[in-house]
Amino acid sequence: MHENKEAVLGGLTLVVGETDTEIPEKPKPDRSRKRDKDATCFTVEFQIEYSPKQRKRANARFNSGTILYNACLRESFDRAQTMRSDSRWLQAQKLPKTINKEPNTERTKLFNDAKTDAKFSAYELGSFGTKMRVGSLRNNVLSQEAQTIAVQAYNAVADWVYSGKGRPRYLRAA
């Protein structure tokens, strides 16, 4: 006869003791080396050769992306400032975060309304980035790249506004 011990934990009864059935063990993964410890490894490095024309084109595209990022960052700062100076945003900051241990829905609604009216969202700034593709930027930055750059600028400013991270800095053109 087996001797079992019972324990009550948070309303659940746990029975500890020996069982008649064995629990099958999981198969252990193969941890053997794929190659010998002393085997040689080869790393090959290739230097990319640009022609002067290709180098000039690559620099122009990089600088265009930097210009676009800085423009989107400035627009994000402006929209964040508009959002923060909205009367609904200021009113929402004065409200308590929770009421009876539940999130304050009125506060959340006021914040969202201020954010929507200021057009402070990744979607809106992605659209702004695409609209900024004029002149030489149209030739040097593709529309998907422009959207991605704009969303990166938005994410940097959103982290600053919401998470208290450091203020994003402008990039320097090379």
Give pLDDT tens digits along the chain (174 positions): 556 566 655 556 656 666 566 667 788 877 777 777 778 877 888 888 889 999 999 999 999 999 999 999 999 999 999 999 999 999 999 999 888 888 899 999 999 999 999 999 999 999 999 999 998 889 999 999 999 999 999 999 999 999 989 999 999 987
With respect to residue 36, please indicate whether it lies within any of the assigned structural domains: no
As a whole number of Å, the CA-based R_g of the chain is 29
With respect to residue 91, please indicate whether it lies within any of the assigned structural domains: yes
With respect to residue 129, please indicate whether it lies within any of the assigned structural domains: yes
With respect to residue 44, please indicate whether it lies within any of the assigned structural domains: no
With respect to residue 133, please indicate whether it lies within any of the assigned structural domains: yes
Number of separate domains in the chain: 1
Domain region containing 136: 52-163
With respect to residue 171, please indicate whether it lies within any of the assigned structural domains: no
Which residue from 145, 172, 167 is spatially nearest to 156, judged by alpha carbons? 167
Distance CA 107, CA 99 (A): 10
pTM above 0.85, yes or no: no
